[in-house]
Amino acid sequence: MPAEPVTSPAPGIDAALRSAIAELATSAAGLEVTAERVVLSPPRQAGHGDLATNVAMMFAKQAGKPPRELAEAIAAGLPELLGDRIAGVEVAGPGFLNLTLGDAYYRDGLGVVAGAGDQWGGGTAAVSEHVNVEFVSANPTGPMHIGHARNAAYGDAIARLFAFHGHRVEREYYVNDFGSQVANLGASISARARGEAVPEGGYQGEYVQELAAQIPGAADASIDELSDAGIEAMLARARDTLDRFGVHFDRYFSERTLHDGEPSPFDIALARLRESGDLEQEDGAWWLRTERRGDDKDRVVIRASGEPTYFASDLAYLLDKVARGYDRLVFVLGADHHGYIGRMRAAVEAFGGDPEGVELLTMQLVHLVEGGEQVKMSKRAGQFVTLDDLVDMVGVDAARWYLLQRSHDTAVELDVELARKESSENPVFYVQYAHARACSVLTRVGPEAAALAGSLAGDGAAALAELPVSVEPAEKALVLKLGELPEVVGQASDRRAPHRIATYALELAQTFTAFYRDCKVAGAEGEGVEAWRAALTQATATTLATSLGLLGVSAPQSMERRELDADA
RNA sequence: GCGCCCGUAGCUCAGUGGAUAGAGCGCCUGCCUCCGGAGCAGGAAGUCGGAAGUUCGAAUCUUCCCGGGCGCGCCA
């Protein structure tokens, strides 16, 4: 499947700077240095300029020259190439280049950010892939718990990231509506409907009782009828829960359909594997020879009893996906499924697909904590905290934020008390508050400033460069922070790390808050100052909304109290 | 035993080759004539689990060790 090149990646605000450095480095080092190799980073130390680069050190060895010599050569050439966009260059330490940027750099930079509007930061993927993301896929035999919540938030967030970065994405949910567990659910409902105890190994939860009450004539219905009705009802619940959580799937794939028809997709998949020699009989069972394709051991597909294993359906399902021709198949799974990667890759390879395009991402556990103690109770499931419980406790925005703010491969503790707080102690509230405050400020600026801020997607962005304003330190910091988004989105997408977006959103909110403190926007004195700051505020509001949107968290125009404080 | 993940401030965690390791919470000290004080500023706090190695430079890469989680079914 040929991947399509992205036509026009948005230029970063540092595009001119990068290419100038790359050009000078190329001639100084005597070897090809591309703009992409130039790493610009904000120095931690005050006094190290506005941006720093280590290109001289990166290429010194290869060029056979001392890093400081390369740095000096680059430093000497920069003023001519960049004019008033650069105010100073310094060679420091082992060969760092510390750059002090001119006001023109910031005016141009804000023009780039503001002109891109809500597309700022997106569309920069080097290669656009068609990606299928399968996540949640909770069995429809029970309610979704806290683990599914993290899975749902994460799967949805990486899908949003992929799409924004420039990929084509499909979200898919695999419905296990086939096999013994389904009959088990039916039998459990039947028992409850007749007022009996559920059978050994049946489903005990309160929801079974609810299903029994909700299905008409359950006491007299057959197990098969109850199985079907039960699965249907549970699936409807799952959809409602996910809908409420802001997660929408493009496709719910029914396992049952794999067994429809003659021959069924299931039969066809197994026949193909027999033909290719990957599926062989031994000791009465049929084994998929995955070990020869890199798995730890071969896997049973059909038991000696003739019963297919769970993996057999997976294979038929996998063939269906492979045949659809994606560039990449992503599976979001619980931590206990990490052992699946080997067999899944081997299976894709057996079907003629590319195992490198198969990714199994595993999630670590979530612990809910309140007042220092682990939260365990649930109104619905009896002992587990359900996804609905979580949303009831802290709301969708806080739930998604706290599930996404940490890397997927680290276990997280979610402090319910903190998540519920509506004050700046709560990061998600703080970020939303910054957005609302920016929106509020924009309603207070004068007509000229409002006109400019409102026309940034059109010719307003170009007009920014003409404003005769000198750029304040807090404004510089804010423009630079806005400028980081494309890089952050790229890394978050490539590393499947939406938590980087959360970290960025918090930093941006903090940087904006400092700007708000130091620089009055509405009614600011000086020619063009109010307009310039309004444009900066508008770009920040948009970028905050974009960042929150990637996490599935809302960006309200104004914050409203959900409840009244006793002492208010 | 083998495989994967984790070990960073009192707590929860960012940071996958750059300068003096960061954030949030908690703790301490300040700040309301001011566009949203539902806020803001400052401070104390770390042998980056340990040891060796690679490098001009390591929390980051390699190896070994120690601690914790998970997985290694003809279960789903």
Strand B: which of residues 544-563 in chain A lie with Cβ below 7 A? 557-561
Encoded amino acid at A349, one letter: E
User: A111 Cβ partners below 8 Å, 6+ apart?
Assistant: A461, A462, A464, A465
A170 forms bridges with which residues in the sheet? A132
Strand B: which of residues 58-77 in chain A lie with Cβ below 7 A? 58, 60-61, 67
Q: Residue A364: inside a domain, yes or no?
A: no
The enclosing domain of A470 has a CATH number of 1.10.730.10
Q: What percent of chain A has pLDDT over 70?
A: 95
Q: Which of A75, A101, A127 is the last residue of a domain?
A: A101
The enclosing domain of A57 has a CATH number of 3.30.1360.70
CA distances from A232 to A35, A172, A225, A247 (A): 55, 18, 11, 19
A481 touches strand B (CB under 7 A): no
For the ranges A3-17, A45-59, A249-263, the maximum mean pLDDT occurs at A249-263
| A199 contacts A187 by C-beta, under 8 angstroms | yes
- In 3-state terms, what secondary structure has residue A360? strand
Intra-chain end-to-end CA distance of chain A, in Å:
61
A52 touches strand B (CB under 7 A): yes
Strand B: which of residues 318-377 in chain A lie with Cβ below 7 A? 335-339, 362, 364-365
A536 touches strand B (CB under 7 A): no
> What is residue A384's predicted lDDT score, i.e. its pLDDT?
76
- Name which residue leads in pLDDT, A465 or A211: A211
Q: How many residues does chain A have?
A: 568
Burial of A86 (0-12, 13-18, 19+ CB in 10 A): buried
A183 touches strand B (CB under 7 A): no
Phi, psi of A358 (to 5 degrees): -105, 125
CA angle A11, A15, A20 (to 5 degrees): 155
Which nt is closest to the CA of A141, judged by C1'? B76
Q: Residue A476: inside a domain, yes or no?
A: yes
pLDDT-based confidence at residue A383 (cuts at 50, 70, 90): low
- Is this complex's ipTM strictly greater than 0.90? yes
What average pLDDT does chain A have? Answer: 91
Which nt is closest to the CA of A91, judged by C1'? B19
Q: Residue A288: inside a domain, yes or no?
A: no
Q: How many structural domains compose chain A? A: 2
Q: Encode A102-136: b = buried (16+ Cβ within 10 Å), e = exposed.
A: bbbbbbbbbbbbbbbbeebbbbbbeebbbbbbbbb
CA of A457 to C1' of B18 (A): 38
Q: Residue A326: inside a domain, yes or no?
A: no
CA of A42 to C1' of B59 (A): 19
Give the domain extent around A453.
427-551
Phi, psi of A226 (to 5 degrees): -70, -35
- Please write the tens of the pLDDT for every residue from A114-143: 999 999 999 999 899 999 999 999 999 999
- Please write the tens of the pLDDT for every residue from A163-194: 999 999 999 999 999 988 999 999 999 999 99
CA of A431 to C1' of B71 (A): 38
DSSP state for residue A410 in the 8-state scheme: S
User: A506 Cβ partners below 8 Å, 6+ apart?
Assistant: A427, A430, A431
CA distances from A305 to A126, A280, A323, A471 (A): 50, 15, 30, 77
- Please write the tens of the pLDDT for every residue from A480-496: 999 999 999 999 999 99
Q: Residue A441: inside a domain, yes or no?
A: yes
In this predicted structure, the answer to whether residue A509 has a pLDDT above a threshold of 50 is: yes
A513 touches strand B (CB under 7 A): yes
pLDDT-based confidence at residue A563 (cuts at 50, 70, 90): very low
CA of A372 to C1' of B25 (A): 12
A433 touches strand B (CB under 7 A): yes
| A325 contacts A130 by C-beta, under 8 angstroms | yes
Closest CA-bearing residue to C1' of B3: A339
Q: Residue A223: inside a domain, yes or no?
A: no
CA of A406 to C1' of B6 (A): 13
Which nt is closest to the CA of A509, judged by C1'? B23
State which nucleotides on strand B lie below 7 Å from a protein beta carbon: 3-7, 11-16, 18-26, 34-36, 38-41, 56, 69-76
Q: Which of A101, A130, A165 is the last residue of a domain?
A: A101
CA neighbor of A346 nearest in space, from A301, A388, A385, A398: A301
CA neighbor of A175 nearest in space, from A134, A224, A138: A138
Q: What is the mean pLDDT of residues A342-359?
A: 94
Q: Which of A48, A82, A101 is the last residue of a domain?
A: A101
- In 3-state terms, what secondary structure has residue A367? strand
In this predicted structure, the answer to whether residue A37 has a pLDDT above a threshold of 90 is: no
CA distances from A24 to A35, A108, A490, A529 (A): 11, 22, 26, 35
Please give the sequence-ordered ranges of beta strands (E in DSSP) within A198-346, or none if there are none: 251-254, 279-282, 285-288, 299-302, 328-334
Q: What is the mean pLDDT of residues A197-214?
A: 91
Q: Concatenated DSSP letters for A482-533?
A: HHTHHHHHHHHHHTT-THHHHHHHHHHHHHHHHHHHHS--TT--STTHHHHH
Phi, psi of A90 (to 5 degrees): -135, 140
Q: Where are the alpha helices (DSSP H) in A166-218?
A: 180-193, 206-214
Q: Residue A29: inside a domain, yes or no?
A: yes
